[in-house]
Amino acid sequence: MPRPPLLLVPPSEGKAAGGRRAGRPDSFADELAGPRAAVLAELGRAVRRPDAATRASVLGVRGELLDRALAATAELVDGTAPVLPAWRRYSGVVWAGLDPATLTAADRRRVLVPSALYGLTTAADPVADYRLKFLVSLGRLGRLSTFWRPSITPALVARARGRVVVDLLPAEHAHALDLTGLDGVARVLRVRFVGPDGHRAVGHEAKTAKGRLARALLDGGLAAADSFAHDGWRSSRDGDVVTVTAPGG
């Protein structure tokens, strides 16, 4: 019997606060310890700079959100940041559609999340509160998507061998992975969300549809990609490309 698919799902900018002291290491702690330490060191240097505009640019927020991000980053740097499982930390629209609180622990481990701070985790792994995007150029590391690619790709290959990987990533996160590294190792099913005109769909509704499709794939397997329907959004499949079209298409 084939093993159930793995899903690549983006993290969310919206994150729940709080948590508890870090305990067990996460699923990729051994493979990614080196690059994670490098990112954390450069992030610490960046937020210690006196230029407020630079700090805001690195963290991607301003005002009260910047104050929270600076406080969370300070805890990361000094090793005291509380953690929550990723499925509880990420609170954005995609994750609301996924409804991870009602998933089994095994299914949460099938959700793989690329992030600019951790590189790669599962939805079950501990994650701190943070603000950092792959689009950021961070000190000596340069663009984080480029920096992470040589580390995340082999970590994914090792996890995905002999399985199907469903790519639900937006461009920012997809650039941090070289999915051609899975050629001959795993099958990749790519998912596109489009409007009635065939152009890329963005916005709240598209994110909700993405979360609902992710949940359908976890519950029903790959067959869900052929018959997905949610609030007028419908899927069609051509080989290893799934197109999810907005209402009216």
Query: What pLDDT sits at residue 76?
Result: 92
Query: What pLDDT sits at residue 6?
Result: 98
- pTM to 2 decimal places: 0.95
Give the number of residues written for the chain: 249
The arithmetic mean of pLDDT across residues 68-91, rounded, is 93
Structure tokens, 112: 């793989």
Phi and psi at residue 65, to the nearest 5°: -65, -35
Task: Name the band, by pLDDT with cuts 50, 70 and 90, for residue 1.
Answer: low
Query: Does 103 or 61 have the greater pLDDT score?
Result: 103
Query: Does 46 or 118 have the greater pLDDT score?
Result: 118
The arithmetic mean of pLDDT across residues 123-140, rounded, is 94
Plot region of 142 (φ>0 → left; ψ -120 to 50 → alpha; else → beta): left
Q: What's the sign of the alpha-carbon dihedral 65, 68, 69, 70?
A: positive
The rounded radius of gyration (Å) of the Cα atoms in the chain is 18
The arithmetic mean of pLDDT across residues 115-141, rounded, is 95
**pLDDT tens by residue, 185-213:** 999 999 999 999 888 888 999 999 999 99
Query: What is the rounded CA–CA span in Å between residue 12 and residue 206?
Result: 14
Query: What pLDDT sits at residue 249?
Result: 54
Structure tokens, 190: 């790519």
Q: Are strands 233-238 and 229-230 parallel, antiparallel or unpaired?
A: antiparallel
Task: Name the band, by pLDDT with cuts 50, 70 and 90, for residue 32.
Answer: very high
Bridge partners of 167?
8, 190
Structure tokens, 33: 């310890």
What is the residue-wise DSSP string for 98-116?
H-GGGS-HHHHTTEEEEET
Task: Name the band, by pLDDT with cuts 50, 70 and 90, for residue 51.
Answer: confident
Q: Of all helices (H) and strands (E), which one includes residue 132?
A: none
